[in-house]
């Protein structure tokens, strides 16, 4: 899977989304779900999903929040104790980056008002536990499966055309094997059969 950011850069983005949630709820006094809806309706969420450096890296959390709310940005430092609102933004960013799905998909499945109730005990756990929670709430279809269905091919058809074993195709579609680590000739054969680029399959 190709992520919009590398691990180092993502840390800055994650912190900004977390700070926006804290500022929006604790300083602008917005309902957490109302702010989440404003966020996913804005260009900022798309920028965060795609790695648009202008927004995701080139602006502060205060400036980004100002754009979302269409008002002059605040000039407030976030707290040192990382309240639950900050944690919601933090784990939401991590989950989106990990699963590579739109924020809207995550929030439709499990809104922030429910997520914040999980602060205890999840904030003391590894972030991957929240990813697993979201995985249990949403159905994520692999890109390979989506492209195969668009071409009206069965797994057997694709296997026969490409020479890739059907067991391998199944494991890629089910996510038990990471398709981004497949050999080049396998990815080339799949992309040719599905009339797409290799990047379309692994992103």
Q: What is the CATH number of the domain that holds 192?
A: 1.10.260.40
Q: Are 96 and 48 in contact (CB under 8 A)?
A: yes
The lowest-confidence range among 146-155, 168-177, 183-192 is 168-177
Region 174-187 average pLDDT: 91
Residues 117 and 195 in one domain: no
Task: Look up the domain containing 163 and give its range.
Answer: 143-202
Domains in the chain: how many in total? 2
Residues 129 and 63 in one domain: yes
- Looking at residue 175, what is its pLDDT? 80
pLDDT > 90? residue 61: yes
Region 55-75 average pLDDT: 94
Region 28-50 average pLDDT: 96
Comparing 37 with 140, the larger pLDDT belongs to 37
Residues 53 and 88 in one domain: yes
**CA distances from residue 81 to 78, 116, 122, 140, 145 in whole angstroms, order as listed:** 9, 16, 16, 34, 43
Contacts of 156 (CB under 8 A, 6+ apart): 166
- Looking at residue 100, what is its pLDDT? 87
The lowest-confidence range among 1-10, 25-34, 41-50, 139-148 is 1-10
Residues 124 and 85 in one domain: yes
- Looking at residue 53, what is its pLDDT? 87
Residues 123 and 152 in one domain: no
- Looking at residue 202, what is its pLDDT? 87
Mean pLDDT across the chain: 94
In this structure, how many other beta carbons lie within 10 angstroms of the beta carbon of residue 184?
8
pLDDT per position as a tens digit, 101-159: 999 999 999 999 999 999 999 999 999 999 999 989 997 788 899 899 999 999 999 99
- Looking at residue 56, what is its pLDDT? 84
The predicted model scores a pTM of 0.77
Q: Is residue 1 part of a domain?
A: no
Residue 2 pLDDT class (50, 70, 90 cuts): low
In this structure, how many other beta carbons lie within 10 angstroms of the beta carbon of residue 23?
27
Q: Is residue 86 part of a domain?
A: yes
Residue 1 pLDDT class (50, 70, 90 cuts): low
Residues 61 and 155 in one domain: no
Residues 86 and 47 in one domain: yes
Residues 109 and 154 in one domain: no
Domain boundary among the residues 84, 113, 137 is at 137
């Amino acid at each position: 899977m190709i992520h919009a950011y590398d691990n180092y850069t993502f840390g800055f983005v994650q912190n900004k989304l977390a700070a926006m949630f804290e500022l929006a709820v604790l300083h602008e006094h917005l309902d957490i779900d109302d702010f989440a809806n404003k966020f996913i309706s804005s260009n900022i969420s798309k920028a965060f999903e795609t790695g648009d450096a202008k927004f995701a890296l080139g602006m502060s959390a205060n400036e980004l929040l100002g754009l979302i709310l269409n008002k002059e940005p605040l000039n407030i430092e976030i707290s040192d104790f990382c309240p639950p609102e900050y944690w919601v933004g933090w784990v939401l960013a991590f989950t989106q980056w990990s699963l590579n799905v739109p924020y809207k998909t995550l929030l439709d499945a499990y809104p922030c008002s429910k997520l914040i109730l999980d602060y205890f005990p999840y904030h003391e756990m590894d972030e991957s536990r929240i990813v697993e929670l979201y995985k249990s709430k949403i159905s994520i279809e692999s890109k390979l499966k989506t492209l195969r269905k668009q071409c009206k091919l069965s797994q057997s058809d694709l296997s026969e055309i490409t020479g890739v074993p059907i067991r391998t195709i199944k494991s890629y579609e089910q996510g038990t094997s990471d398709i981004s680590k497949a050999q080049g000739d396998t990815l080339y054969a799949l992309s040719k059969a599905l009339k797409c680029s290799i990047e379309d399959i692994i992103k």
